[in-house]
Amino acid sequence: MSDLFTLAGRRALITGSSQGIGLALAKGLADAGAEIVLNGRDTGKLARAAEALGGTVHQLAFDATDHDAVRAAVDGFEAQTGPIDILINNAGMQHRTELENFPADAFERLLQTNIASVFHVGQAVARHMIGRGAGKIINIASVQTALARPGIAPYTATKGAVANLTKGMATEWAKHGLQCNAIAPGYFDTPLNAALVADPEFSAWLEKRTPAGRWGQVDELVGAAVFLSSAASSFVNGHTLFVDGGITASL
């Protein structure tokens, strides 16, 4: 049974992995045996994350919203270091403002960071995976893939798009041996949600709204990521796995 879930001999690239969910997933996949490739734009933060992980950790600095930079970084890494067997598209951002006053430039940044990056990095890595006839792509969606909340309508739109792009990847690339799926976290205690975690009124509302009665902890996403990265999910494709304490199952 352990062979189904081992990631030994596999190499995983996680975008936006210098902190938060990305770093937690990097640690979790490393514990399952994977060799990790950290990504971000801040080389200092990447170096600190790599030091915290220990072991064999690569640092691949590029802007996931820059198509040419992504392609050059991925192609260069594959040529110089070796194959990327697992990709987790985790890079993302949030901007909270009521929709009628939402700034156009913030909307464009959300589109580029939350959707375009999934396309850019997914395409660059998949080109190599297709040639090998195998690969795992996991896109980080959100509870907002299925639900909306005031103040984050554009973010909700981007995460809905991530789920549908995941379906499109699976439809196109399953025939080449790739499994393309998404993980949709609920409300987790992360730097992106720091303002909400610090708000007693919001936390009280969330605990009442979520059947599990609490915020999620980032380590609780690791099991889903290891499953979707491993041989255990060999016939799972185009699926969005909600890890949300039951919030999408409950009114």
Catalytic residue among 102, 155, 173, 187: 155
DSSP strand pairing (11-14 vs 35-40): parallel
Measured CA distances, 67 to 70, 71, 130, 137 (Å) = 5, 6, 19, 18
CA-wise closest residue to 226 among 9, 42, 26: 26
CA-wise closest residue to 185 among 227, 248, 236, 237: 248
The C-alpha atoms of residue 88 and residue 65 are separated, in whole angstroms, by: 15
Chain centroid to CA 177? 21
Residue 187 a catalytic site member: no
Residues marked as catalytic: 155
